[in-house]
Chain A
Amino acid sequence: MPDGLLVLERVSVAFGNLRALEHVSFEVREGEILGVIGPNGAGKSTLFNAISGVAPLRSGAIRFEGSRIDGMPVHAVAARGIARTFQNLRLFRFASALENVMIGAHLRLRSGILDALVRTPRARREEMRVRDEARALLERVGLAGSEERLAANLPYGAQRRLEIARALAARPRLLLLDEPAAGLNPSEKAGLAALIRRIRDDGTTIVLVEHDMGVVMSLCERIVVLDHGETIAVGSPRDVRADRRVIEAYLGSEMP
């Protein structure tokens, strides 16, 4: 019985007749950076959607810290300690950077309706704490001066980092990064890779979907390769690079 932090057991997801994921099984070990790669349309984003609760499973199970999370509503999965970023960025565009991160910290607060209405001392303390933590997070991802700027007005690279900061605000145990390097220039990519490593070193397990092979190979200790919704290889970067099925799957697209 696999005892990883996150375990997928023969997970299948389908949209009508389209089989997006077929009997996908693998585990994510605590403390690792796991890469998920595959040609376009392989099902990588669907994988994340299945884990975070957006896409229902046709069959199979997903376990987090031992208990099943498939079938739970999205906010409940998040409450278990799983956070993610999105392939096409889903920031709260017309809120400030600071507000975005503060919203990310929603789960770490306890204030309810009454606290909100009356501004109890507890609410006030929590607000100050959340604000300070958010500032610290922005600094950690390199956005120290941009607190008050509207998320929509930030440059693209900063927006990517903001989304990561927002995800981190919940202090997740598992962080799912969906193509965080997309559209970044080489120096930004290097900065991103360093940031991801720092996040893992601080105690968060990371699953990384990426197209950029340089980033994947340098960061990930293990890699899962998907093609047409199925796992075709799992292993270290070196093993995966040499795997014949992987090479065949990529033939015609970019080679790893």
Chain B
Amino acid sequence: MIYLLIGIAVVATIVAGSMRSRALSRGVAIGALGLLAAVPLAVHDDATINLLADAGLYVILALGLNVVVGFAGLLDLGYAAFFAIGAYTYGMLASPQFGIHVPFWLLLFVAALLAALFGTVLGAPTLRLRGDYLAIVTLGFGEIVPQIFQNLTKYTGGPNGISALDIPRLGPYSFGLSATPYYEVTVALVALTILLVCNLRASRLGRAWTAIREDELAAKHAGIDTTRTKLAAFALGASFSGLAGVVFAAKLSLVSPDLFQFQVSVLIVSMLVLGGMGNVAGVIVGSLVLSTVNEAILPQADTLAERLFHLRVDLTADHYFIYGAILVAIMLLRPEGLLPNRERRAELHASADA
């Protein structure tokens, strides 16, 4: 069932992405999102809804990272850090930890702003660095943030994290224990993210990012303040991650450092690489596919392998082999990803032929 729903989402995305007319594209997207929002009416399996919600969160994360990596061309390998910041914001401000109980809806804003703030703080000194250096610094940041959360036990619950987080309420209704309300919020946020990201891409700021990505010196000569513009990409990208973090924490009712390790950052980068960096539709497809693989297929891979190939294997340990192999394979065979925009395909193949 989950595969069917994800499949529909993927197809809808591809169709919407390939429409020439903006209005048609929008129509397909709205239709698909509406359909997805109505799914809990037909599907009553809470586990499936939960998986779909997770997939939605990954879509938001991937779209956010796409702003940084795909639009502005900045190498960010520590994106999970902002996810953690968003999640821990909820964990610390809506739980028994300090006895503070800020409402879920307000925390969505707060976390987005906080993540953007941290993005700015991290970016300000480092965005002048060359691409690979920036990658390492962001990698380091992605390593350090969960460590800091793990070390400050008094505030963050240390290695065990914080549990029993507040259950969100909407007016008199509590979200309760089912995944459905979180799912609906996620669908709404996905819609919002797609809208905002597409707006960004077609704006003066989006063009400035393209310029910086292509030729930073020429961009400066066109009057673009490259440092400020890159910072904007970083901060905006981070804010989406913070947003997703709040929903994630609330749904899980738990935050702990081991949920935000380097592997998460790499997973999201893989989604971009697989789907086609820079292309909104491609990124959505990439994130849907990989999150399904990650959450639905891999846990069952052992049983699948046994049934199909009569192999006794323990594939849970080999997640990362698979991601590693995917990354290498894509880079060697089809670096522009599954659904590139034509600019990116030209860019990657021109240099290959050079």
Q: B-contacting residues of A (Cβ < 8 Å)? A: 52, 54, 73-75, 78-79, 83-84, 86, 90-95, 99, 102-104, 106-107, 109, 111-113, 115-119, 123, 126-127, 130, 150, 152-153, 166, 170
Contacts and interface: CB of A to CB of B under 8 A. Distances in A.
Contacts of A86: 218
A95 B222 contact: no
B347 to A, nearest CB: 4
B11 to A, nearest CB: 28
A225 B205 CA distance: 41
Contact of A99 (B207, B236, B342, B346): B207
Contacts of B347: 93-94
B135 interface: no
Contacts of A112: 205
B225 A94 contact: no
B222 A166 contact: yes
A75 B226 contact: yes
Nearest to B201: A116
B4 interface: no
Given A94-B214, A117-B196, A118-B199, A103 B219 contact: yes
A233 B9 CA distance: 70
B210 A170 contact: no
B203 interface: yes
Contacts of B208: 103, 106
B207 A106 contact: yes
B211 A103 contact: yes
Interface residues of B, number: 32
Given A75-B226, A78-B220, A117 B211 contact: no
B124 to A, nearest CB: 16
Interface in B199-234: 199-200, 202-208, 210-211, 214-215, 217-226, 232
Contacts of B199: 116-119
A73 B350 contact: no
A119 B203 contact: yes
A126 B221 CA distance: 21
**Chain B at the A interface: SS class:** helix
Interface string B311-354: 00000000000000000000000000000001110110010000
9 contacts: A54-B217, A74-B217, A93-B215, A94-B346, A94-B350, A95-B343, A106-B224, A109-B204, A127-B204
A93 B219 CA distance: 12
B207 A103 contact: yes
Contact of A113 (B232, B342, B343): B232
B226 A90 contact: no
Nearest to B217: A90
B198 to A, nearest CB: 9
Contacts, number: 106
A115 B203 CA distance: 8
A95 B204 contact: no
Given A83-B221, A166-B222, A150 B207 contact: no
Contact of A104 (B200, B220, B222, B346): B222
A54 B218 CA distance: 11
A75 B225 CA distance: 6
Nearest to B344: A94
B192 to A, nearest CB: 10
* Residue with the greatest number of chain A CB neighbours at <10 A, chosen from B214, B223, B232: B223
Contact of B218 (A92, A111, A113): A92
B203 A106 contact: no
A50 B28 CA distance: 52
A112 B208 CA distance: 11
A166 B210 CA distance: 15
A175 B38 CA distance: 58
B224 to A, nearest CB: 5
Contacts of B343: 94-95, 150
Contacts of B222: 75, 78, 83, 103-104, 106-107, 166, 170
A84 B344 CA distance: 27
B23 to A, nearest CB: 15
Contacts of B196: 117
A75 B224 CA distance: 6
A122 B214 CA distance: 27
Interface in B170-205: 196, 199-200, 202-205
B221 A93 contact: no
Given A113-B232, A113-B236, A84 B221 contact: yes
Nearest to B215: A90
A108 B200 CA distance: 18
Contacts of A75: 220-226
A145 to B, nearest CB: 18
A111 B210 contact: no
A75 B204 CA distance: 16
A79 B205 contact: no
